[in-house]
Amino acid sequence: MVREITLDNIEHLAIGSAFLGTGGGGDPYLGSLLCREAIAQYGPVPIVRPEDLKDEDNVFVAAAMGAPTVMIEKLFSIEDQHRAVEVLERFLGRTATAIISAEIGGCNSMMPVAYAAMRGLPIVDADGMGRAFPALQMTSFNIEGVACAPMTIADEHGNSVLYQTVTGLKAEELARPVAAVMGASVCMSCYPMTGAQARRAAVPLTLSGAIGIGEAIARGGDPRPPLDRLIDALRAHAYYSDAAVVFRGKITSLERDTTRGWVFGSCTISAMGGADAATGVAEVRFQNENLVVHVNGELRGIVPDLVTIVDAETAHAIPTERLAYGQRVAVVACSAPPILTTPHALDVVGPRCFGLDEDYVPVRDLIGECA
């Protein structure tokens, strides 16, 4: 088991969380730079398992909110994150004893590590999604009855806003427009929990899982192609084990629009030919994160299961904001944590919540004919 985040494994965390981010969560490379600086200055970050949390622990979320396309140019700082957490601590009259990620995706898995290093606190080997989602209410915390609010957001100009709302959905509806006014990229803290609540509501083993996935992709001296190593790592994990490459090809069309604080769009990938190659096209739709993939019109993966576009040669995930015409890519689909696929959870994170017309079909029922 990985016991701490160090300069030696931060790159693996960035690579693995980029995959689990399913295209969203912010660029992990920028987050890794922040983590490297923080760990170099403050030292490694201890990892605590959810089951080792004490009932009375105070577990605070450190996260970013906004459009990934904006996050490339509007960088975060630990000071912004501290402002969001500190305002919430003062309001609650409690001080954080552990930090947790809202989502194990992209920059949102990196910022909590950097912040925990600065505070000298452990980070929990868990998160609220087991992947990334675009909206505040789309978490296992919410699904399991933990209140999203009180919550805070803060920007780089010293502004902070505290919300008290009845539901996670209302917190999303109120905070998203303000985040857009703040530049479509803010730091936040929400879902403040006790240790007992975190044990019940968090998705465990995702931080160590991301590190394992990243290590498999980056492993030197292994003669197998990176894509094969990625699939093997996914199949060895407790949640992501139903996994396959569902299409390979070249990006031939891309539509992307940043509006209302999100990035909406679609990506068309065309087969490149060859005696053993697949034929036809794949279509991926996204809202910050990839939501659904169809191959030749047939469903091959749909939210809450994970759909990630990766570089065909390196198996490194490509965030939606960095997709580009002509890239040679593969589309990987894998199963989601079970906590996200119950009937109650599908009311919060299922296809209908994203305006999709199709019902959820587990990826294990869709990938039988895939490579």
pLDDT of 295-313, one tens digit each? 999 999 999 999 999 999 9
The full DSSP string for 170-229 is HHHHHHHHHHHHTTSEEEEE---EEHHHHHHHSEETHHHHHHHHHHHHH-TT--S-HHHH
Q: Are residues 198 and 240 in the same domain?
A: no
pTM metric for this prediction: 0.92
Specify the 3-state DSSP secondary structure of 6. coil
pLDDT of residue 72: 59
Structure token digits, residue 4: 């701490």
Strand ranges (E), the chain: 4-5, 45-48, 58-66, 98-101, 123-124, 126-127, 151-154, 160-163, 185-189, 193-194, 203-204, 243-259, 262-270, 281-287, 289-295, 298-302, 306-311, 328-334
The mean-pLDDT minimum among 231-240, 273-282, 295-304, 334-343 falls in 273-282
**CA atoms of 114 and 26, how far apart (whole Å):** 15
Task: Say if residue 44 is in the same domain as residue 190.
Answer: yes
Domain span including residue 184: 4-204
What pLDDT shows up at residue 25?
A: 72
In this structure, the answer to whether residues 152 and 240 fall within a common structural domain is: no
- Over residues 85-141, the pLDDT tens digits come to 999 999 999 999 999 999 998 788 999 999 999 999 999 999 999 999 988 999 999
Q: Are residues 49 and 105 in the same domain?
A: yes
Same domain, 84 and 182: yes
Residue 174 shares a structural domain with residue 240 = no
Would you say residue 21 has pLDDT above 60?
yes
pLDDT at 274: 57
Is 172 a domain residue? Answer: yes
Q: Are residues 300 and 353 in the same domain?
A: yes
Instruction: Please report where in the chains the tokens 């806003």 appear, as a residue.
Output: 161
CATH of the domain at 308: 2.40.390.10
Give the percent of the chain with pLDDT over 90: 78
pLDDT level of residue 275 (50, 70, 90 thresholds): very low
Q: Looking at the 3D structure of the chain, how many domains does it have?
A: 2
